Amino acid sequence: LATQNRWVLIDFWSSCCASCQRLGIVFERVASRYKSSLLATRNNIDQQEEIAKFFNVRTVPTLILLRDGEIVDKMVGHHAEYEPMKNSTQQMIGVGLRSPHYEAALSSDVLVDFVEVHAENFFADGGASLAVLDQAAARFPISLHATALGLGSKSGVVPQYVQKLNRLVERINPFLVSDHAAHAWSKHNDVLQHAGDLLPLAFNEDSLDSLCENVEKLQHHLKSPILVENISAYVAFSNNTMSETDFLTSLTHRTGCGLLLDLNNLVVNATNNEITTPIEYVSQWLESIPLTVVGEIHLAGCTLPPDGELMIDDHSNHVSETVWQAYRLALKRFGATPTLIEWDSNLPSWETLVAEAQLARRISQEVLAS
């Protein structure tokens, strides 16, 4: 940086920033054309956080031009969804929108910042559900959460599902689109079948290759990055060659996608693996994830199982105290991040659901202000 009589241009970028990827192509051309007089370098803030902190980089893409070690000019990106926002108290809190709550959500005061819907519930060509979704999209920002794409399936993503998802994205313009790091599709007697659930992946290069290929194809069709969620897994594989966090981090680096961080899934996995202090497991897990790749957080509660039985992520209850503790840790690590209350079975009243969201808001304000 202290090169004498030479210009230095630094491009700060993130793997989950589509604008960064496009700018990177132009940057490389400039670097090649003016290499005799310009030292041009790219800094991935997911991997080189200290340099970004040194230059106080808070958004991406950011370009800094130096001469003799002094900053001459700076261009700052303004993409909030990729912003660490460590000192920000801005926060979006949302709830899952399910059919029993349609009327209340559309008629009562707006007390949440967004709603999230399951994409597959609106794949029909028309009907009452789509009409309700149109009304919701006029009232709230929408997070579109898919559950059936099977992004980790070796058979690939099903074209008909991708087309329906793309059509829905074009219709309601969601601010987030997501699915899971899971397997769902396979062929039996040459017939493609869906498992009806989110099946876990082995954390190895073979699974990673399939997942990356499918995510890249989906993002190509949607023309934007997606978020991929960590799942609750009730079996583990003997052929794992990396940790879950290394697996998911590699996914973000290779595809440019972000992560949907489901904290209850982490607690469920820790509990089922008989980890004595689940919150310590969650803390270590969070510290292993790059600062800039988490685009949304899910909070949920589940039914406590009898002793000796598996805990199931059934989204049937208030957020547990352990998950609230995990949420505090996540906010300290990643800053303000769109946060959703998931409640899918044993549904409460709309007022109870909104009250849970308000609790998330109070906790986030407390943490982010400290």
CB 164 within 8 A of CB 136: no
- DSSP annotation of 158 reads -
Phi-psi region of 85 (alpha: psi -120 to 50; beta: other; left: phi over 0): left
Inter-residue contact 56 to 78 (CB < 8 Å): no
Distance CA 22, CA 246 (A): 25
What amino acid occupies position 276?
A: T
| Burial grade of 50 (CB within 10 A; 0-12, 13-18, 19 or more) | exposed
b/e burial code for range 80-105 (CB count within 10 A of at least 16 → b) = ebbbbbeeeeebbbbbbbbeebbeeb
**54: Cβ contacts below 8 Å, ≥ 6 apart:** none
Report the Cα 6 to chain-centroid distance in Å: 40
Active site residues: 17, 20
| Distances from the Cα of 177 to the Cα of 114, 228, 262, 313, angstroms | 13, 9, 15, 21
- Size of the chain, expressed as the number of residues it contains: 370
Q: For Cα atoms 348, 350, 356, give the angle at the middle one, nearest 5 degrees.
A: 75
Please say whether the beta carbons of 149 and 179 come within 8 A: yes
Tell me: cis bond preceding 278? Omega within 30 of 0 counts: no
DSSP class of 301: B
